[in-house]
Amino acid sequence: MMALLGNTPYDFVMNHQEKDLESLQNFKHRTFNGEDFTHFIKALKNMYTKRNGLEQIFSKNLNNNSLQLNIHHLKTIFFEIPHPNRAQKHVSDPLKGSAAKRINMFLRWMVRKDNTGVDFGIWKNISPAKLSCPLDVHSGNIARKLGLLTRKQNDAKALLELDTALRKLDAKDPVKYDFALFGLGVFEKF
């Protein structure tokens, strides 16, 4: 992907011409193809030119202690321009039951600042207190073993349950436990 974008993804998104998108058509990774890639480029350009970018979209209406409604709002904006129906499967929606692992991981990187350089913390308009743990099979299984999660599925309801438990441990930075949960599952086989 990076090579196809000239190793300058933001510049490509913001300045591409229709003919530049032709080079993306043969791209394929698992179920993500050139048609999906082209829509993602157009959707990102739309978000940056008409919605002031991703941070602004995620920062809107920060009334509750979760970003899950903001993720739903992102998906709505992402598909407000003409798009192939197949592309919708690539953007999770917590209001449709998804734990939205990849988007929550992205939010963690952009919002949370740590001393190891894993989390960049370059977005300043969102508090880490609103982040959700990127729930996957590893973090979910460990959370269950530790009594932080009882729900068997790794879905939006399980994410809410885990968020509630982690916020009791640290309301200001509940996602700081993510790597420990993931690592105990993957590396330690806990």
Does the pLDDT value for residue 26 go beyond 90?
yes
> Tens digits of per-residue pLDDT, 116-160?
888 999 999 999 999 999 999 999 999 999 999 999 999 999 999
Q: What is the pLDDT of residue 2?
A: 97
Between the alpha carbon of residue 147 and those of residues 5, 39, 109, 162, the distances in Å are: 45, 41, 26, 10
Q: What is the pLDDT of residue 70?
A: 96
Mean pLDDT of the chain, nearest integer = 95
Burial class of residue 38 in the structure, from the number of CB atoms within 10 Å of its CB (0-12 exposed, 13-18 middle, 19+ buried): buried
Q: What is the 3-state secondary structure (H, E, C) of 86-132?
A: HHHHHCCCHHHCCCCHHHHHHHHHHHCECCCCCCECCCCCCCHHHCC
Residue 40 · residue 30 · CB < 8 Å: no
- Of 66 and 40, more confident: 40
> Tens digits of per-residue pLDDT, 33-59?
999 999 999 999 999 999 999 999 999
Q: What is the pLDDT of residue 65?
A: 83
DSSP structural state of residue 62: -
Q: Rounded distance, CA 126 to CA 124, Å?
A: 6
Confidence of residue 167 (pLDDT cuts 50, 70, 90): very high
Please report, rounded to a whole number, the percentage of residues in the chain having pLDDT higher than 90: 88
- pTM of the predicted structure, to 2 decimals: 0.92
Does the pLDDT value for residue 63 go beyond 90?
no
Q: What is the pLDDT of residue 125?
A: 94
Does the pLDDT value for residue 186 go beyond 80?
no
Q: What is the pLDDT of residue 183?
A: 81
Q: Give how far the C-alpha of residue 187 lies from the chain's centroid of Cα atoms, to the nearest Å.
A: 23
